[in-house]
C-alpha cells in the first residue's frame, strides 16, 4: 500500500472515488493558549495493490512536541475490496475533528499508521497572533 495524499485541511469529501480537498494548511493561529481549533479535517488517500485486499486498521494520532498525545488516537477499520479486473484501488480516510484543543504554542504532529505501520507524518504549527503596536 502507498500513501498518495496526506493533508490537514478545512474539508474533504469523497464523491464516488473523486477526492475533493478544500483549504490545506499546516498552521493554526490564536491570540492565546490554550485554544481550540473550531474545525479541521485529515485526509489520507491510500493506494492498495491486489495483494493488500483485506481489512485494515488505520489510526490517526495528534502528538505534542514532548511526544504526548493531544487527544486519544482515532482508530478506524478500513476494508479494501477489489473488482475482478482491478490491479490497484484507492481508498480515502477522511477524519473531521471539531474543537481540537491545543494546550500551548509550538509544533504538533499528526501521525498516520495502517495495521500498526507508520505511513505518514504531518507537522501542525500552533502560532500566537502577533500583538499590534500603536
**Cβ atoms of 93 and 33 closer than 8 Å:** no
Express each pLDDT in 19-77 by its tens digit. Answer: 999 999 999 999 999 999 999 999 999 998 887 777 889 999 999 999 999 999 999 88
Q: What integer pLDDT is reported at residue 44 of this predicted model? A: 95
- Residue 16 domain-assigned (yes or no): yes
Pick the more confident residue, 91 or 117. 117
Q: What integer pLDDT is reported at residue 106 of this predicted model? A: 96
Q: Domain of residue 23: give its range.
A: 2-128
Q: What integer pLDDT is reported at residue 23 of this predicted model? A: 97
- Residue 8 domain-assigned (yes or no): yes
Q: What integer pLDDT is reported at residue 36 of this predicted model? A: 93
Which CATH number do you get for residue 56? 2.60.40.2550
- Residue 20 domain-assigned (yes or no): yes
- Residue 85 domain-assigned (yes or no): yes
Cβ neighbours of 49 (radius 10 Å)? 14
- Residue 88 domain-assigned (yes or no): yes
- Residue 9 domain-assigned (yes or no): yes
Long-range Cβ contact pairs of 20-25 (< 8 A, separation 24 or more): none
- Residue 82 DSSP label: -
Domain count, the chain: 1
Amino acid at each position: 500500500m502507498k500513501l498518495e495524499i496526506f493533508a490537514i485541511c478545512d474539508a474533504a469529501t469523497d464523491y464516488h472515488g473523486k477526492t475533493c480537498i478544500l483549504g490545506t494548511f499546516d498552521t493554526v493561529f490564536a491570540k492565546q493558549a490554550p485554544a481550540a481549533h473550531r474545525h479541521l479535517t485529515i485526509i489520507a488517500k491510500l493506494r492498495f495493490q491486489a495483494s493488500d485486499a483485506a481489512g485494515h486498521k488505520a489510526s490517526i494520532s495528534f502528538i505534542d512536541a514532548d511526544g504526548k498525545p493531544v487527544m486519544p488516537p482515532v482508530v478506524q477499520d478500513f476494508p479494501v475490496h477489489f473488482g475482478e479486473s482491478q490491479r490497484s484501488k484507492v481508498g480515502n480516510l477522511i477524519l473531521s475533528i471539531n474543537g481540537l484543543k491545543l494546550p500551548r504554542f509550538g509544533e504538533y504532529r499528526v501521525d498516520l499508521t495502517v495495521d500498526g505501520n507508520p505511513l505518514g507524518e504531518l507537522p501542525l504549527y500552533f502560532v500566537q497572533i502577533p500583538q499590534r503596536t500603536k
